Structure 1
Amino acid sequence: MDTRSYDVIVAGAGVVGSAVAYGLVRHGLRVLVLDGADGDLRAAKANFGLVWVQGKGFGQPAYQQLTRRSAALWPAFARDLTADSGIELDYRAEGGIHFCVGQAQWEQRAAKLARMTEELPGEESCSEMLDRGQLQRLFPKVRFGPEVSGASYGRMDGDVNPLRLLAALQRSLQVRGARLRTSSPASRIEPLAGGGFSVHVGKQRFEAARVVVAAGLGSSALGPMVGLDVPLRPQRGQLLVTERLAPMLPLPASGLRQTAEGTVMIGVTQEDVGFDLTTTTAAAAHMSRQAARIWPALGQAQLVRHWSCLRVMTPDGYPVYAESAACPGAWIALCHSGITLAAFHAGPLAAAFAQARIPDELQIFHHGRFNVPQTA
C-alpha cells in the first residue's frame, strides 16, 4: 500500500479528471490522480477543440447557463494553465461560426437561437445571425459554395488545441503538488470502515479521505462500487485533417476549424455504434462532401489523417455531478463537453468538491434524474 496520505484520489486523468484535480490541488488538497493506459478510450483524442456556447442547452436552460459560465471563465483559466505549465494552448476567444446551407436551414437556426434566448429571461443573447454578405465580409479569403446562405455567430465561442490542453492540465497539477500515476487505471474502490476509501490499481492499494470518479466510460464500472451508478453510452466521433493551408479561417466553426499550424479539421460524426472505433469511408465521404459544399476549395486539399474516438454520453446528453448517498465522500463528474466545461471543472466544481458540497444550482445534474419508473 502507498503509505502517503491523500485528501482526494481522482480516478481518471482525461480532460475532466485532470481539470478537477488541478482545481483541487489549487485549494491546498493532497491529490493523487490515477491515469489509465495510453490505449484507453480517451475523448480528447478525437475532440474538435471547441469552447462552445451557441446552440448548447436547447430546452435545458441550466445547461445553457453552465456553458456560458465556463466560457466566461476560460480566458483566466487559460492564462493560469500556461503560466503553470509553460505550454501554449492555442486558445482563441474571438467567437465562432455555425454555417447554414440553404435558406431553410438559416431560418431554422435563427428560430432555434431565438427560442434559446427566451429560455433565459433577462439574459443577453450571445449569438446573432449573419446573412451571406455579412459572412463573406467576415471571411474575405474564403470563396463559399453557392448553397451557403449565411451563419450564426456566437460571441462567447472559441477554440483550443485539446491535446495541448490535456498536457497542460497534467503538467500543471503536478507543478502545483499533485501526484499523477500513469498507466495506473483504478480497478476497485472500497469504502473503509473508519471513513475514507481504498482504491486499488492491480495489486497496489491507495487510501484517501475522498474519491472522485472521473474516468469517462470507465466510470460505468467504478461508480457502482461507491453507489454512483450512472447510465452511460459511447458515441463515436470521426475526424478528418487536411494538409497545412494558408490562413483563411480566423474563427472556428461547428464543422470546420483551421488550427494554428494551418491544417483544417473536418467533422465531427455522431454515431451510436457501441465501442467500435473503426473509421469508415462512408463517414469520410459524408464529412468531405459537407465541407466542400461550404468551402469548395477544400476539395483540392490533401487529407493527411482520419481517426475516431468515443464520447461519454448520458441518456439526456447533459453532465452528471453528484455525491454518493450510500458512500459520502465519493463524487462523480461526467460530461461529453469536457473542453468547454474545463474552466468550470477546475474552478467552481473543484471548489464545491473541496468544500464537500454540491451547490443548489447543480442539483439538476444529479444522476437521480434518470431514476424515472418506466410506464407499461
Structure 2
Amino acid sequence: MSTAPLGAAPGTARSRSADLVIVGAGVIGAAAAYFAALAGRRVVVVERGALAGGTSSAGEGNLLVSDKEAGPELDLALYSQTVWRQDLAEHAGRWEFESKGGLVVAASARSLATLRELSVHQRASGVEVQDVGQDRLHDHEPHLAKDLAGAAFYPQDAQVQPMLAVAHLLRLARDRGAHVRTGTEVTGFLRSGDRVTGVRTSAGDIPAGAVLNAAGTWAGEVAALARVSVPVRPRRGFVLVTEPLPPRTVRHKVYAAEYVGDVASSDAALQTSPVVEGTDSGTVLIGASRERVGFDRTVSVPAISTLAAKAVALFPMLRQVRLIRAYHGFRPYCPDHLPVIGADPRAPGLWHACGHEGAGIGLAAGTGKLIVQALTGGQPDLDLAPFAPDRFPDRHEDVAEGVSP
C-alpha cells in the first residue's frame, strides 16, 4: 500500500496526462476514481479544496431506498445498494457500513394510508418493506412517542461514515495507480474543436481522454467553463448532534413520513421533517432541513429550533438531552430531482456525475460503477437515459443561487 499522503502526487499537473480526469474529490468522484482505476484506467482527481470538503462532509451518510418513489432514482438506489453490499463488501469496515434499517413513522391515519400506498409501489420495484402496526412500534423503537399511527420498516436502509468512504475509496484508487491533487482548481478546458481533451488548472494543464464533472454543488460552474448548462444549485441543510447516549437508544434510522414529500419538493422556503438516528459513539444525529438560499452559510436559528422541536415530538426523551453541536452544508439540487449522469453530447469528451442532492452518499457507488461502464465502452447495468445531461433547456436559471461561496 502507498505510504504517500492521500492528497499528494509527485510531479506537476502539466507533466501528467490521463485517461480520465475527475473534477471533485467528494464521494461521487471518489467512487468513480475507484472503479476507473479498477478498470485499469489512468486516473487523475483534481480538487480545489480538501478531500470531502463539500457536501460529503455535511451529511449523515445515508444509503436509503425508503425515501424514494418508484422511478429512475429508486432504480439507481437499489442498484447502488447492490454495489455497496457486493462489489465493495470487503471494504465495508473501512467506512463503517451499518445495515441498520429505516423506520418511517406516520403520525395520523391519513399519513399512514399515504405511506402504505407508497410502499405498494416500492415493493413492485424491488424494495423490501414491512408494515408495522401501532401495537408493534415500540418493539422497533422503545422510546418513540406513544400517539403515532404506525410505520413501515425498510431493512435495506443503511449507513456509512461519508468522510471515511471518500478517503478510503480514493486510497484504494491510488493503490491502483490513480493520482489525487488537492488545492488544484479547474480554470478551463482543453479543446480540440468541440471536443474536450483535458483541463486547465491552477497547477497546469492535464490532457485527458475524458473529463468527469463530479464537482457537487459547483458542478454548474464547472459545466459553464465548457460552455454547457447543467442546472445544479445549492440547497442548504442542517444536522444536529446530541451528547452521547447509551448504545441503541435509537436503533434505526427513524423519520417522519412527511420527509419523503420534502425530498421531492421544489419549494425554495425552509422545510423540516424529523430524521433521528443513533451512532456507534452514542451521539444521536438529527435532521433534516432543506432551503434554497444560495451559498449563504449563516447559521439559521429557525431551522435548528424547528428540527429540535420535531425530533422531541418523535422521541420525547430527547427533551432532556443536550445538543453539543450543529453543522450544515449544501446539497447539489436539480430541478427535476434526478442526478445528472453520463456523456454530454454538447461537449464530446465531457461527462457528468452530479446533482444527487441529499442522496449522493447512497447513490455514489452505483453512479461510479455505471459511469465507468459507459466511459469504457461497455453497456451500463442501468439505463442512463433518465439522467442525461442535456435533458434540461439550455439556459441558466436561478443564477443567484449559483454564486460561489
Using the size of structure 1 for normalisation, the TM-score is: 0.89
Change (3 A) 1:150 1:358: same
Runs of 4+ in structure 1 deviating by more than 6 angstroms, as ranges, are 356-360
Question: What is residue 362 of structure 2 aligned with on the other side?
Answer: 340
Answer yes or no: is the 8 Å Cα contact 2:194–2:347 preserved in 1: no
**Are 1:283 and 2:292 matched, yes or no?**
no
2:114 matched to which residue of 1?
108
Whole-Å separation in 1 of the counterparts to 2:194 and 2:295: 39
Q: Is residue 21–residue 198 contact of structure 2 (8 Å, CA) maintained in 1?
A: no
> What amino acid is the match of 2:39?
H
1:207 matched to 2:207? The reply is yes
**Preserved contact between residue 198 and residue 207 of structure 1 (Cα < 8 Å):** yes
User: Separation in 1 of the partners of 2:126 and 2:209?
Assistant: 42
Ranges in structure 2 where 5+ consecutive residues have no aligned partner: 1-12, 256-274, 396-405
**Residue 313 of structure 1 aligns with which residue?**
333
Task: Supply the distance in 2 between the matched residues of 1:78 and 1:278 (Cα, whole angstroms).
Answer: 37
Counterpart for residue 84 of structure 2: 74
Quick check: 1:78–1:91 contact (8 Å CA) kept in 2? Answer: no
**SS state of the match for residue 149, structure 2?**
strand
Provide the C-alpha distance between the structure 1 equivalents of 2:194 and 2:277, rounded to a whole number of angstroms: 52
- Higher alpha-carbon deviation: 38-47 or 340-349: 38-47
Measure how far apart 1:366 and its partner are.
0.6
Q: List per-residue Cα deviations over 1:263-290 (Å, max 9, x = no partner).
A: 1000010111111122222111111111
Output the CA distance in 1 between the equivalents of 2:181 and 2:55: 19
Quote how far apart the aligned CAs of 1:208 are.
1.1
Query: Alpha-carbon deviations, 1:148-199, whole Å to 9, x = none?
Result: 2222111221111112212212222212210000111212112135966231
Task: Report the secondary structure of 1:199's partner residue.
Answer: strand
Match of 1:271 in 2: 291
Q: CA deviation at 1:97?
A: 1.2
CA RMSD of aligned residues (A): 2.4
Letter aligned with residue 317 of structure 2: A
Amino acid at match of 1:271: E
- Report the residue type matching 2:132 in the other structure: L
Report percent identity of matched pairs: 26
* Residues 1:88 and 2:94 are matched in the alignment: yes
CA distance in 2 between partners of 1:109 and 1:170 (Å): 38
Q: Does 1:240 align with 2:235?
A: no
Q: Does 1:364 align with 2:366?
A: no
Secondary structure at the counterpart of residue 298 of structure 1: helix
Q: What is the alpha-carbon distance in structure 2 between the residues aligned to residue 180 and residue 165 of structure 1? A: 15
Letter in 2 for 1:101: A
Q: How many Å separate the matches in 2 of 1:368 and 1:359? A: 21
- Residue 317 of structure 2 corresponds to 297
Aligned partner of residue 219 in structure 2, secondary structure: helix
The SS at the match of 1:274 is coil
Alignment of 1:92-171 (within 5 A): 92-117=98-123, 120=124, 123-139=125-141, 142-171=142-171
Please list the CA deviations of residues 277-335 of structure 1 after superposition, one character each: whole Å capped at 9, or x if unmatched: 22222111111111111111111111011111000011111111121223322111112
SS at match of 2:297: coil
Q: 2:52, 2:89 → 1: CA distance?
A: 29
Q: Distance in 1 between matches of 2:336 and 2:347?
A: 25
- What's the CA shift for 1:369? 2.4
Task: Find out whether 1:34 has 2:36 as its counterpart.
Answer: no
After superposition, give the CA deviation of every residue in 1:212-269 in whole Å (9 maximum; x if it has no partner): 1111122212213335421121100101000111012232223011111111000010
Judging changes above 3 Å, is the alpha-carbon distance between structure 1 residues 17 and 125 closer, same or farther for their aligned structure 2 residues? closer
Aligned residues: 361
Q: In the alignment, which residue of structure 1 is the partner of 2:23? A: 11
Q: Take 1:155 and 1:143, find their aligned partners in 2: how far apart are those partners?
A: 19
Shift in CA distance, 327/124, structure 1 to aligned 2, threshold 3 Å? closer
Single out whichever of 237-246 and 359-368 deviates more from structure 2. Answer: 359-368
Contact 1:240 1:284 in 2 (8 A): yes
Q: Distance in 2 between matches of 1:203 and 1:43?
A: 24
DSSP-derived class of the 1:112 partner: helix
Preserved contact between residue 147 and residue 294 of structure 1 (Cα < 8 Å)? no
| Residue ranges of structure 1 left out of the alignment (5+ in a row) | none
* Aligned positions of 1:213-228 closer than 5 A: 213-226=213-226, 228=228
**Kept in 2: contact 1:236–1:272 (CA 8 A):** yes
